[in-house]
């Protein structure tokens, strides 16, 4: 991912983890 896309992806993951109905978030993105 580009640096901008990585920031966006991390925001998405954080938003998903903050939702009460979401128990697990899985991805195969290499966050370096």
Question: What is the per-residue pLDDT across 1-32, written as a single tens digit (0 to 9) for each?
Answer: 889 999 999 999 999 999 999 888 888 988 77
Q: Is the model's pTM score more than 0.75? A: no
Give the number of C-alpha atoms closer than 13 A to the C-alpha of residue 20, restricted to the C-beta side. Answer: 0
Predicted local confidence at residue 19, as pLDDT: 93
Whether residue 22 contacts residue 16, with contact meaning beta carbons closer than 8 Å, is answered with yes
The two tokens of residue 10 are 């991390």
Q: What is the spatial distance between Cα 29 and Cα 8, in angstroms, rounded to a whole number?
A: 12
């Amino acid at each position: 991912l580009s640096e901008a896309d990585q920031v966006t992806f991390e925001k998405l993951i954080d938003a998903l983890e903050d939702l009460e109905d979401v128990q697990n978030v899985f991805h195969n993105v290499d966050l370096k």
